[in-house]
Amino acid sequence: MQPFLRYVLRGALRVLFKGVIGRPIPERVQRAWMVMVASSTLRAGDTRTERGTWGVPGEWTQHRHFVDGRVLLYLHGGGYTIGSPRTHRALTSHLAAAARCQVLVPDYRLAPEHPYPAALQDTLAAYRCLLERFAPEQIAIGGDSAGGGLTLCTALAIRDAGLPMPRALVLLSPWTDLGLSGETIDGLDAIDPMLGRAWLQRAGDAYRGNLPASDPRVSPLHASLHGLPPMLVQVGSDEILLSDSRRLVEKARAGGLDVRLEIEPGYWHDFQIHAGVLDAADAAIGRIADFLRDRWAPA
């Protein structure tokens, strides 16, 4: 059954996501389409979500039996131009359930209406808000795709501002190089059912504004990574951002950082979104939960 489900999902994503989002159509249309596609994903049971403002507007998801003092600041993906807490509710609910934690997803501002540094300003505001209630060792930051890149940029900005660092970082298929220089950008384009160079190029150009694509403020692969907390990086073997993860991990290890890389054979970008359907996604979420529990301060 699992091979069949994987086959069906891969085909559906190629048609419904890459076949639509990858086209040069207005962001408002892409955003509405992504909401519709995301509505097919399954939420975890025993979780509840509420909207509010925590530095910036966002959503707060809790498992019924959450452990106080475990907080994940989660930054959604979408190429900095689409996506929202709503499109990632299934994924964040599974993270909350597996790790028995609270998850805050800020509704950060999107490009092209709000290019850099708007998203970073919003995620920093959310982190500062969490610091008013929680100790830094009780907070982790995570994100997928562009949200993974934004997670790194947020951690770097926290470091450079002299704020206390979060306990850990979780990076799912992170987009770390807006210059699209990785060998898998083109090498795996025909295999990846979700992403293509053309869409990433448009989204990156919209987000970075006047900054060059190699600027470390938008491409953390080119930043100095010293002082960052332990990192878990998960990526699929069949996605064009694979080399973004590999090069990031290689650089982090060369700098003596604590980083773990997990490459899921035969899977695609953000496969964890299919938790509750794909066994590989459930297992990956479980490993994220184990990683976080091992690093959070005792409740």
Q: Could you tell me the mean pLDDT of each successive run of 10 residues in the chain, 299 residues long?
A: 94 95 94 94 95 97 92 98 98 98 98 98 98 97 98 98 98 98 97 97 97 98 98 98 98 98 97 97 98 85
Q: Would you tell me the crossing angle of helices 2-13 and 279-293 to the nearest 10 degrees?
A: 90
Q: Which pLDDT does position 299 carry in this prediction?
A: 54
Take residue 230 and report the two structure tokens written for it.
């332990």
Catalytic residue of the set 239, 245, 264, 274 = 239
Burial 142-154 (b: 16+ CB within 10 A, else e): bbbbbbbbbbbbb
Q: Is 274 a catalytic residue?
A: no
Strands (E), 227-279: 231-236, 259-264
Q: Is 145 a catalytic residue?
A: yes
Catalytic residue of the set 84, 94, 114, 145 = 145
CA 263, distance to chain mean position in Å, is: 16
Q: Which pLDDT does position 94 carry in this prediction?
A: 98
Catalytic residue of the set 63, 88, 94, 269 = 269
H-assigned helices in 165-224: 183-187, 197-208
Q: Is 226 a catalytic residue?
A: no
